Structure formats: structure tokens, C-alpha cells
Amino acid sequence: MESALAKQVYDKLLSVYGPQKCFLEHMTPFQLLVATILSAQCTDKRVNMVTRDLFKRWPDAEAFANCGREELEQAIFTCGFYRAKADHILKASKAIVEQFHGELPGTMEGLLELPGVGRKTANVVLGDALGQPGFPVDTHVRRLAGLIGLSASSDPEVIESDVCSVMPPETWAQFSHLLIVHGRTRCPANRPDCPGCELARLCRHTKAVQSAGKQSAPKKTVRASAKKTSKPVAKKKVTNKAASTGRTAKKTTSKSGTGS
């Protein structure tokens, strides 16, 4: 991927939306880890509603490690997949308490050792809570990276590597936020607003659509002009000929009848 494209896309999105913050409310890196686990297949808005009470009841890893499974499942029920999510939260909390003395590991390798934590979650925590470079590839980032041309792959790990190899580490977390907000507002799945999009000049998808349009443009023009001129001409002919010769008028009438 050309680094120029990624840089231009980043600059444009930053100028449009301004600097973006983490969408998930949290007070500590551990709370962000829990919120990110809950955000799988769930909206950030819903997660924030749930975690406001959740973190009052269980503020840290030790509290979660000692809470009842059923109680936790009930508390996070509305986030969906509550059994699996409760399982991941409980196991990760116990691992943090038992293996990391209650502190969240501060590296990608350490975070990936925690049960239920994948690269996306680890990157969120690194970039938004631990002040380290992190480029989370969620569903929006994955889709937009393909459409815009930031990566030719649909594999999140390859996308992460493609983008991170051409962008400075200090921009990674912000770039992910900007792509997410653009995916939510201008380029949602199945209904991207390409005509109104600020990235239209840069986006590979738009270029591909424009190029396909140009190739078929002559046919469209011909059809459009034939349509425009055929009606008035036909009417004129019928009127003129019908007025001058009965034979022509008959022919026209019969044609018109067949067609209807």
C-alpha cells in the first residue's frame, strides 16, 4: 500500500471529524478491557449503559474474579452473548489476579495471554488506556480499509500490519477511531454515501465505480437521447401523416395497438 494514500486519508478524516476519543467509557485499563470484551457484537452505547452500573459493583480485576457467575451474567445480559462474555471476563480477571498480581499486562504479548483477549481487544487497551501504539481492526476498520484501498486483505491481522507499516505509531489509535466514526456516519455497510463523502477523491471504491461508469457512459447517452427525441418525433409524424394520408394514419394506428 502507498503510504501517501494512508496519510492523505488520515489527514482528511482528522480535518473532518477532529481528534476522536475512545468510545467506551472507562476509568482504568482493566475497565477498558472489560468494556471491549462486552462490545463484541454490541453497540458502544449499550456497553456504556451496562458498564456504568457494572463498574460500581465490581471496579477492578479482584472484584470481578470473586463475583458470582450468575450475577455477572445477569448484569451483562443486554450486551448479548452474555455467557461467553461472562466466562471471558471471569477467566481474564482471575488470570490478572493470579499471574499478574492484579495489574493488567502492558504489552501485546502479555495481553494476548489473557483468556478471551484477541489482537483487537489488546490493541484497544494498548492504544486507549496504556498510551502505547495500537491499531484495533474492528468491523468498520476492516470494511473501510478494503473500500478505500488501505489494504488488499480482509484478514484483520494483515490489515493491521499494512496500515501500521506505513503510518507513524503515534497515529495508529487515532486512525482507527477516525475510520470507525467515518464508517458509522458516512460509509455504513450497504449504504455508503459516496457522492457526499469527503474521501471520494482518494477512495479506491469510488474510483472503480467512476471508471466503470465511464466505460458504460456512451451507451447510456445514446439511449437517453433516443428516448428524449423519439416521443415528440413519433407524435409529430402521426399527426402530420394522419392529417395528409389515410394509409399512413392506419399503419400508425395498427402499430400503436400492437404495442399496447
The cell for 136 is 484495533
Taking CB under 6 A as the rule, does residue 203 contact ligand SF4? yes
Of 85, 120, 128, 162, which residue is the catalytic one? Answer: 120
State the nearest-atom distance from the C-beta of 182 to ligand SF4, in Å: 7
Which of 70, 88, 79 shows the shortest CA–CA distance to 33? 88
Among 20-28, 51-59, 84-92, 184-192, which window interacts with ligand SF4 (CB under 6 A)? Answer: 184-192
The cell for 119 is 489482537
Which position among 197, 238, 242, 249 is part of the footprint of ligand SF4 (CB under 6 A)? 197
d(CA 87, CA 23): 24
Which position among 181, 200, 242, 249 is part of the footprint of ligand SF4 (CB under 6 A)? 200
* Number of helices (H), then strands (E), in the chain: 13, 0
Taking CB under 6 A as the rule, does residue 96 contact ligand SF4? no
Which position among 194, 238, 242, 249 is part of the footprint of ligand SF4 (CB under 6 A)? 194
Find the binding residues for ligand SF4 in span 102-131 (CB under 6 A): none
Q: Which residue in this structure is represented by grid cell 456516519?
A: 185
Which position among 24, 65, 89, 199 is part of the footprint of ligand SF4 (CB under 6 A)? 199
Q: State the number of binding residues for ligand SF4 (CB under 6 A).
A: 14
Q: Burial, 61: exposed, middle or buried (Cβ in 10 Å; 0-12, 13-18, 19+)?
A: buried
3-class DSSP assignment, residue 195: coil
| Residues contacting residue 137 through CB under 8 Å, at least 6 positions apart | 119, 120, 123, 145, 156, 157, 159, 160, 176
Q: Which is nearer to ligand SF4, 119 or 186 (CB)?
A: 186
Which position among 71, 107, 193, 230 is part of the footprint of ligand SF4 (CB under 6 A)? 193
- Cα torsion through 66, 67, 68, 73, rounded to 10: -140
State the nearest-atom distance from the C-beta of 241 to ligand SF4, in Å: 51
Q: Which is nearer to ligand SF4, 4 or 224 (CB)?
A: 4
Q: Are 121 and 37 in contact, with CB atoms under 8 Å apart?
A: yes
Confirm whether 120 is a catalytic residue: yes
Confirm whether 44 is a catalytic residue: no
* DSSP structure class, residue 60: S
Which position among 140, 142, 177, 205 is part of the footprint of ligand SF4 (CB under 6 A)? 205
Give the footprint of ligand SF4 on this chain (CB under 6 A). Answer: 144, 147-148, 186-187, 192-194, 197, 199-200, 203, 205-206
